[in-house]
Amino acid sequence: MSKQKPILYFHNRDIVVPGDTVAVGDVEIETPNLLIKLSDGRVVATVTGLLNVEESEDKVRIGLIPLKGRYIPKPGDIVIGIVADVGITAWFLDIRAPFPGVLNASDYLGRPFNPATENLRKYLDVGDVVIARVAQFDRTRDPLLTTQDKGLGKVVEGSLVEIEPSRVPRVIGRRKSMINMLQELTQCTIVVGNNGRILLKCPNPEIEAVAILAIKKIEAEAHTSGLTERVREFIIEEKIKRGLMERGLE
C-alpha cells in the first residue's frame, strides 16, 4: 500500500503567519521550533515567516525562515559580540539577545586565571569586538561563550554590519550559495554571526561599500525569490558605476 501524499496549503516562498496550517500529513520539518506538528497531523506555523518547501518522490521537507524576531542563542551558534561589561573573572558581551553572553577568562586565555594578580581589561575592554561560539544555553542561565575554536577571538580589523537575525539564513544562502557569491565578487572576507552581526574585511573602502549595500539589499528582499541572481547583478552594476570593473568583463 502506497503512502498517502501530504496535503500542502502553501507553496515554496509563500509568507505564513502564526496559526496558519501549512500542511497535513507525513512531512519532514526542518525548523521544529517554528513549525509544529499537532496530534491531528496538521503542521502549523508559530511565527511570521517565509516557507521553504522541498518536494521529492518519497518525501516533503518544510522549513520556515522568520521575517522578524530577536536573536535567541542556540549551542553551536557563531556570534559576534561587543564587550559591554568587565567582571572579575569574565566578560559580559552584548550579543543582541535578551541576555548577555558570558565569556570566562580561563576560556579566552586558554589557561587558569587569577584575578588577584591580573586585570581582565588588559586582554579585552568595553567596546572590543569578539567572535565566539555559544557553548551552553538552557534559559536558566546566561549563554556561555567560548573562543576555543579556529577563527574565534578578538577582532582587530574590519567593519561591522547589523541586520535582522532572522535574515541570516538568506545572507548565507542554501549550501552557502549567497555568501560564496558575495565573497567571490567583492573579494571581501565575510564572517556572518547567527545574531545578525556581520564582519567585513575588504580590499578597499569602495568595495566595502558595495558589499554593505548588497547585504542590506538581501535583508530588505529576503522574502523574494531569485534573490541570489539579482544581488549578483546589483554588485556588478555597483562595481561598474564606481570604476571597479569595466562593463563586459563581468
pLDDT, one tens digit per residue, over 114-141 is: 999 999 999 999 999 999 999 999 877 8
Domain boundaries, the chain: 7-66, 78-154, 159-241
Name the superfamily (CATH) of residues 159-241: K Homology domain, type 1 (3.30.1370.10)
Q: What are the C-alpha distances in Å from 194 to residues 73, 77, 172, 191?
A: 8, 6, 10, 10
* Confidence label for 87 from pLDDT (cuts 50, 70 and 90): very high
45's grid cell: 506555523
Q: What is the pLDDT of residue 1?
A: 47
Q: What are the C-alpha distances in Å from 117 to residues 50, 92, 111, 114?
A: 53, 20, 14, 6
pLDDT, one tens digit per residue, over 41-81 is: 899 998 888 888 988 877 899 988 877 777 889 999 999 99
pLDDT, one tens digit per residue, over 169-184 is: 999 998 999 999 999 9
Global pTM value: 0.76
Q: Mean of the pLDDT values across residues 220-237?
A: 91
In CATH, the number for domain 78-154 is: 2.40.50.140
Q: What is the pLDDT of residue 248?
A: 55
Answer yes or no: CATH 1.10.1740.10 is held by domain 7-66. Answer: no
Asked if domains 78-154 and 159-241 share a fold, the reply is: no
